């Protein structure tokens, strides 16, 4: 294991190479440009192929082709670029092709700004493409976690023959932290389902689920079974100082790392605070919220860099109506304020209730 000081996007790219990625296609867009830049330099050194596509749309379909041939394939983009890739993502899911997609969120909508935000939570978890397909979506809060999850994402993609999304914001993509890099994985032979040439082999073809209503329904039922298995086996969550907490933060990614420091600051003041931090934002850790004791927990505070809020909806499903929910939010490139979050809880403790209802 090698410990190095790296920038977020570059650490993700290096982890992908070490995790087996040998094909990358992408198109420049801030704040994820360091990923394709790093790949263009380092991937060929390991026998891989880097292609700068003429567009985001072209790039995702290059990934489709590489994945169909059995390669560990990856692309990355940011907000509007992910929107352009959404059709190709849906086709990957329909053809049961494994791929890793990194989404470095920026503030939006439209062109938005290149500043960090979490406005694409719905995109990453609910609507990454048409047709109702789903993906495992990881949301790291540190660079070490980003490295580890990227490394593992290829395993999940191959296991399920389905795209995997890694969702971070521009803050995590730009900061530098020490990380321990994993070892290089040994490359495996292409799987039996891959299209690797007909000579001497049984003829087969990879195609999306057909438009025939019976075969389409059978495919959807098969995928539904996969999604249920994720909910049972693949949920990842950090429950930080929740055991006796009276005020529980719900936050992921950059907001999650800020809220961990908020919890520590409140504990120093004698306030029993805790944090539930989803690491998989799909499948979502509903159970962590369902088991909160309404006789002890006075409020759940959702902290996210999105206005209007989005994470709030999944938290509400988990919490139900038994515990009041309030929010701390930022947007347009602003980071959640530790001071504001602390003051929110102190005001709640004094009985100054300011709860947010979902409209």
CA distances from 241 to 15, 137, 291 (A): 30, 24, 14
**What was the pLDDT predicted at 76?**
98
**What was the pLDDT predicted at 2?**
73
Residue 302 forms part of a structural domain: yes
Residue 358 forms part of a structural domain: no
Residue 315 forms part of a structural domain: yes
Number of C-alpha atoms within 13 angstroms, CB side, residue 280? 21
Is the domain of 267 the same as that of 224? no
**What was the pLDDT predicted at 356?**
65
Q: Which of 123, 79, 125, 312 is nearest to 235 (CA)?
A: 125
Which range marks the domain in which residue 246 is found?
A: 239-349
Is the domain of 82 the same as that of 9? yes
The residues facing 166 across adjacent strands are 102, 138
Mention every residue, 6+ apart, whose C-beta is less than 8 A from residue 118.
Answer: 105, 169, 252, 253, 254, 255, 304, 305, 306, 310, 311
* 284's tokens: 């979502």
Mention every residue, 6+ apart, whose C-beta is less than 8 A from residue 125.
Answer: 137, 281, 282, 284, 314
Here the CATH number for the domain that contains residue 145 is 3.40.50.970
The secondary structure element, H or E, covering residue 202 is none
Is the domain of 292 the same as that of 183? no
Q: Tell me how many domains the chain contains.
A: 2
Is the domain of 294 the same as that of 153? no
Number of C-alpha atoms within 13 angstroms, CB side, residue 219? 17
Is the domain of 196 the same as that of 318? no
Pick the last residue of a domain from 233, 264, 298: 233
Residue 224 forms part of a structural domain: yes
Q: Are 105 and 118 in contact (CB under 8 A)?
A: yes
Per DSSP, 335 falls in state: P
The residues facing 280 across adjacent strands are 138
Is the domain of 213 the same as that of 252? no
Is the domain of 209 the same as that of 323? no
Q: Torsions phi, psi of 274, nearest 5?
A: -145, 175
**What was the pLDDT predicted at 271?**
97
Q: Are 188 and 124 in contact (CB under 8 A)?
A: no
**What was the pLDDT predicted at 287?**
98
Mention every residue, 6+ apart, whose C-beta is less than 8 A from residue 136.
Answer: 153, 156, 160, 162, 164, 165, 230, 234, 280, 282, 283
Q: How far is CA 142 from the centre of its chain?
A: 13
Pick the last residue of a domain from 195, 213, 233: 233
Residue 265 forms part of a structural domain: yes
**What was the pLDDT predicted at 69?**
93
Is the domain of 165 the same as that of 16? yes
Residue 127 forms part of a structural domain: yes
Distance between first and last Cα of the chain: 49
Is the domain of 201 the same as that of 245? no
**What was the pLDDT predicted at 134?**
97
Pick the last residue of a domain from 197, 214, 233: 233
Omega within 30 of 0 (cis) for the link into 239? no
CA distances from 247 to 244, 259, 332, 342, 356 (A): 9, 12, 27, 11, 15
Is the domain of 125 the same as that of 220? yes
**What was the pLDDT predicted at 188?**
86
Q: Are 299 and 323 in contact (CB under 8 A)?
A: yes
Polymer length in residues for the chain:
359
pLDDT along the chain (359 residues), means of 10: 91 98 97 97 97 97 96 97 97 96 94 92 94 97 98 98 97 97 92 81 64 79 96 98 98 98 97 98 98 96 96 96 93 94 93 65
Mention every residue, 6+ apart, whose C-beta is less than 8 A from residue 260.
Answer: 141, 240, 275, 277
Is the domain of 129 the same as that of 269? no
Here the CATH number for the domain that contains residue 326 is 3.40.50.920
The residues facing 30 across adjacent strands are none
Residue 134 forms part of a structural domain: yes
**What was the pLDDT predicted at 354?**
67
Is the domain of 194 the same as that of 259? no
Residue 244 forms part of a structural domain: yes
């Amino acid at each position: 294991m090698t410990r190095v000081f790296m920038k977020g996007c570059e650490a993700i790219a290096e982890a992908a190479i070490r995790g087996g990625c040998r094909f990358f296609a992408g198109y420049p867009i801030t704040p994820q440009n360091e990923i394709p830049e790093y790949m263009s330099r380092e991937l060929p050194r390991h026998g891989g192929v880097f292609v700068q596509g003429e567009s985001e749309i072209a790039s995702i379909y290059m990934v489709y082709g590489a994945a169909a041939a059995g390669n560990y394939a990856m692309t990355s983009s940011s907000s509007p670029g992910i929107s352009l890739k959404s059709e190709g993502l849906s086709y990957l899911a329909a053809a049961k092709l494994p791929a890793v997609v990194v989404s470095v969120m920026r503030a939006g909508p439209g062109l938005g700004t290149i500043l960090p935000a979490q406005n694409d939570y719905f995109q990453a978890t609910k609507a990454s493409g048409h047709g109702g397909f789903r993906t495992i979506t990881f949301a790291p809060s540190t660079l070490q976690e980003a490295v580890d999850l990227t490394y593992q994402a290829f395993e999940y993609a191959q296991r399920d023959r389905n795209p995997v999304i890694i969702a971070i914001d521009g803050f995590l993509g730009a900061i530098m932290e020490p990380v321990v890099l994993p070892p290089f994985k040994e490359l495996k032979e292409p799987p039996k389902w891959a299209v690797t040439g007909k000579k001497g082999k049984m003829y087969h073809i990879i195609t999306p689920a057909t438009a025939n209503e019976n075969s389409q329904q059978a495919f959807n039922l098969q995928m539904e079974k996969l999604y249920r298995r994720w909910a049972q086996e693949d949920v990842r969550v950090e429950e930080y100082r929740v055991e006796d907490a009276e005020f529980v933060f719900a936050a992921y990614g950059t907001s999650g790392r800020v809220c961990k420091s908020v919890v520590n600051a409140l504990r120093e003041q004698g306030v029993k605070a805790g944090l539930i931090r989803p690491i998989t934002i799909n499948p979502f850790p509903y159970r962590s919220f369902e088991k909160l004791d309404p006789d002890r927990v006075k409020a759940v505070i959702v902290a996210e860099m999105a206005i209007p809020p989005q994470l709030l909806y999944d938290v509400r499903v988990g919490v139900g109506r038994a515990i009041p929910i309030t929010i701390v939010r930022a947007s347009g490139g602003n980071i959640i304020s530790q001071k504001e979050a602390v003051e929110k809880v102190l005001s709640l403790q004094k009985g100054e209730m300011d709860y947010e209802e979902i409209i």
